[in-house]
Amino acid sequence: MATEEAKYELVSKNDIYEIRKYSDRLAVETITSDQSYSFRKLYNYISGGNEKKQKIEMTTPVTVIEKSGVMTMQFYLPKVFVESNVPVPAEADVRIIKIEEGYYAVLRYSGRSSDANFIKHKEILEKELSRNNISIIGNPIRATYNSPFTLPPFRRNEAMFKINY
């Protein structure tokens, strides 16, 4: 599905989760009440639905995070884009954002990208971070890496928290 994955440095790892350091990166995002609809909006942007009518390679992961009380879906943009050359979205409810560098605790799991599966793994990660005295400084992030046609046992999903590390 993708040719480029958001780059990170692996800082530490245990049996449950790993700590990653991500650099600054650009993303395109939209508010989501329906994940299929939001995915289509973002996919339209990378398919040429932008001021330059430029096609942009799909990257991974696709993330969903709560921001200001609403769910937001994000596609990371390929590293060739910086703030000065990223195409402006054609739709008003799609926007470009800069995600600041930081440390993230990540629990990887397979299976469906359902709410129940995500909540289960997010809670495991949250408990482990608390047990290890690691402060969470952001809302939980659901990250998915595979197309919906990938069989569930082979899917890569992640529950993530930005942390104070």
Same fold, 4-22+101-164 and 25-99: no
Q: What is the pLDDT at residue 157?
A: 98
**Mean pLDDT, residues 43-70:** 95
CATH architecture of the domain with residue range 4-22+101-164 = 2-Layer Sandwich (3.30)
**Mean pLDDT, residues 1-5:** 71
Where do the domains of the chain lie? 4-22+101-164, 25-99
Q: Of 27, 73, 78, which Cα lies nearest the Cα of 57?
A: 78
Q: 19-35, pLDDT tens digit by residue?
A: 999 999 999 999 987 78
Q: Which two tokens stand for residue 57?
A: 């390679």
Under CATH, which number does the domain 25-99 receive? 3.20.80.10
Q: Could you tell me which residues are beta bridge partners of residue 50? A: 89
Q: What is the pLDDT at residue 35?
A: 80
Q: 84-116, pLDDT tens digit by residue?
A: 999 999 999 999 999 999 999 999 999 998 999
pTM confidence score: 0.93
Q: What is the three-state SS of the chain?
A: CCCEECCEEEEEECCCCEEEEECCEEEEEEECCCHHHHHHHHHHHHECCECCCCECCCEECEEEEEECCEEEEEEECCCCCCCCCCCCECCCCEEEEEECCEEEEEEEECCCCCHHHHHHHHHHHHHHHHHCCCEECCCCEEEECCCCCCCHHHCCEEEEEEEEC
